[in-house]
Amino acid sequence: MRNTTAPSADRQREIAELQRELRDLQEQRMGAIRVKDRDPGMGELVQRLDQKIAAAMARFRELRPPTPGEQLAELEIEIAGLETELGRLNVQRSAAAEAVLKREPEADDRLQEIAEEIETAVGRMSVLRDRRAQLQQHIAGERAADAQRAAEAKPARFAELHRERVAHAERLTQAARTLAAAVRAIDANGATLAELLDDQGARNFLSVPALRRRAANALAREFAINPNATLTVGNSMFGIASDAVGAASHWTLTQWEQQGLDDLVPFFATEVEAEEGRRRLELRATPTVVVPLHGAFTLVRFEQVFGDQASATRAAMRSTTPMAVVPHGPGFVLLPARFVEAA
């Protein structure tokens, strides 16, 4: 029942113009018919409009052959117009019959003329109604065939969706296993870091509950039913809520971890990575310098950078945490002693 012809852009424009022209012509024709009785000249106008409509319709069908549904709609319009015309002719016939009874001049001829017009219109109406019945039967048959094809296609579609769902489930299973392995790995990493750092602040950050909370904040938006709504348990595919606000509610887990690691574990394998960490801290109004240390690189805050050894030594003595004075460039920096000196 679908028209599979794909008209070009130029053809589409011409079709649209023809549709507008046909609407205008139909409106003019209906207007002319309404005043035809009062103005005999309207009869010729109706004929000219019919010719224009026929020509426009012929061109329209050349550009885009009408579907059965469109043909039926056109028939309904034509039938409605013919019914209007027959109503008008019947009124005229009644008036002409009265004129015959009154023996008015040429009344018999006028009555005969109207009778012939009615006979022609009735014949045309019979043809149109037969055609309508045929189209309705054709459309009903096409719909039944479409329904049958749709029914026959369901088993294969069900099988396709079955296979697709199983594949999605397998991917979800593998993703869950990968995620669980990553969680176990980061837990083990945290335990090792906490032991080596021997710092309560680091132990708090690296603890399993703290990681779970950051992970929930990071993953809540990924599993949100509506990412633009509040990230509550009810708005989550897996019941994951977030208590993060503002820009932090959009952070990834990497960003959450980096935020703490830059402060608590400011050690990097390469100078490039250290420089990236320095820039991140600078954005948080924490200026630092990159310092090489035993094959790695660390970050030292500005307040722990000194121009001479004596000043650095005095600052180390005042510190509540054991600090080591380490040469750096033309000056000296303070580093936690446990990272520099043997216990």
3-state secondary structure 125-150: HHHHHHHHHHHHHHHHHHHHHHHHHH
**pLDDT given at position 6:** 47
Q: What is the pLDDT of residue 61?
A: 77
pTM above 0.85, yes or no: no
Structure tokens at 225: 């039913």
pLDDT grade for 105, boundaries at 50, 70 and 90: confident
Q: What whole-number distance in Å separates Cα of residue 304 and Cα of residue 316?
A: 9
Residues 149-190 pLDDT 10s = 999 999 999 999 999 999 999 999 999 999 999 999 999 999
Report which residue type is found at 264: L
Q: At what angle do helices 68-101 and 9-34 cross, to 10 degrees?
A: 20
Determine the pLDDT at residue 7. Answer: 55
Contact (Cβ atoms closer than 8 angstroms) between residue 122 and residue 100: no
What is the per-residue pLDDT for 224? 93
Question: Is residue 2 over pLDDT 50?
Answer: no
Range with the poorest average pLDDT among 61-70, 83-92, 228-237: 61-70
Say if residue 301's pLDDT is above 80: yes
Alpha carbon distance 56, 15 (integer Å): 10
Region of poorest pLDDT, from 22-36, 67-81, 318-332:
22-36
Task: Give the pLDDT score at 4.
Answer: 45
State residue 5's pLDDT score.
47
pLDDT average, residue stretch 71-100: 90
Structural tokens at position 216: 């929930």
For helices 208-219 and 107-197, the axis angle rounded to 10 degrees is: 160
pLDDT given for residue 87 in this prediction: 92
Model pLDDT, residue 37? 66
Instruction: Kindly report, residue by residue over 210-261, the tens digit of the pLDDT.
Output: 999 999 999 999 999 998 899 999 999 999 999 999 889 999 999 999 999 9
Which candidate, 204, 217, 211, places its Cα nearest to that of 183? 211
Residue 47 clears pLDDT 90, i.e. is over it: no
pLDDT exceeds cutoff 60 at 276: yes
Q: Two tokens at 281?
A: 């801290």
**DSSP string spanning 143-186?**
HHHHHHHHHHHHHHHHHHHHHHHHHHHHHHHHHHHHHHHHHHHH
Q: How far is CA 131 from CA 49, 53, 67, 138, in A?
A: 23, 20, 14, 10
Give residue 342's pLDDT band: very low, low, confident or very high (50, 70, 90). low
Gap between the Cα atoms of 57 and 26, Å rounded:
11
Directed axis angle between helix 42-63 and helix 9-34, to 10°?
160
